[in-house]
Structure 1
């Protein structure tokens, strides 16, 4: 994975992040008996508390690792390792792995203390997209499967959540098409559809194989084969499932 760009790392990370985050929301709902509509963060205690919607249900408290913050003014993202207010706290140690990965692979955005965010284009939200990018990339690099973004007072705090008892989603050929379409439909989340689809298969250790001219990727799920076709511009054009069959061109 040498010579990576920021967009490459996002493409390699985003589908797994979307899948795992959806599973995390379900897990919080299960643990709280109905979901949480209020969260509180204590950076010194290095924890987040999910308060249940329903009375007499237990809170969920989990360790966190602060990744950084995305601000409306100035319109920028700052990594926690560069923030004078938190960089010396234990909560900001894990993000150093993300910085070190960026240094070793030449990804400037991961080693730049503060990143300017361009103005929104039509239908986009650069602040939200940047926060999601920080979360997804950091989950993939650190191996911590999920993250939380909390918004308030013009700031988005981005943190990894290392919840005891939470396990990443199990790959499913039934739900994968929804995950893929959800990610490519969100502005700025996926830059290269082919890379993102292959990156998912690699991250989940699923067998996969390309058809000639990279026209389609076949991925072997527990239920069977899912074929993702791409148009001449490399964008997803069709998804077909053949459960009970394995990919006809397996390979790495």
Structure 2
């Protein structure tokens, strides 16, 4: 059973999640989850191990509560603890409100919001009696509207609300809860629509969207995650 501190990154096979997982090693044992990108997850684990860190990847469909429960049961058996939870998994949901379907709305909210809340509840059972950190990956779209992104924006606004509420709820246990809200980053979540990318780029300070390997995106976010888990970090903050 692992004695080192343990970080769990939900959605850590690629993009922002993979960058965060790499940044947390080697100071923590990293458990990252993936749903379909097994090759990406394996590559992330290999990168971590190549620098002397410890990591493992577990396939989980976070739309299914039974698989989430099984995930944290497995972590309990293998590691016995969780010190940091990163809720990074997410799906997009572009479309005008007149074109939205009931099931499509639910599919986005299930992954981006309900799964994050349920994962948090299960992870807390493995947190120390005092201390620990929860980091939620939100989005600037929660507060900066873009037409056609109402469902995704609503899911990330929910993440902001959860973050602030849980900071109050879990503060007495010494658990910090924070959110990081990146702008658009050129990852699989954003898709391949070059027109949309160009439009979003016009709204960014640099005149383009972020890339997974440049400072305004994943690498910088990973550094911010490392800072937010520090003992002097505040709680209930969206940065």
- TM-score when scaled to structure 2? 0.30
Considering fraction of residues, name the structure with more strand: 1
Considering fraction of residues, name the structure with more helix: 2
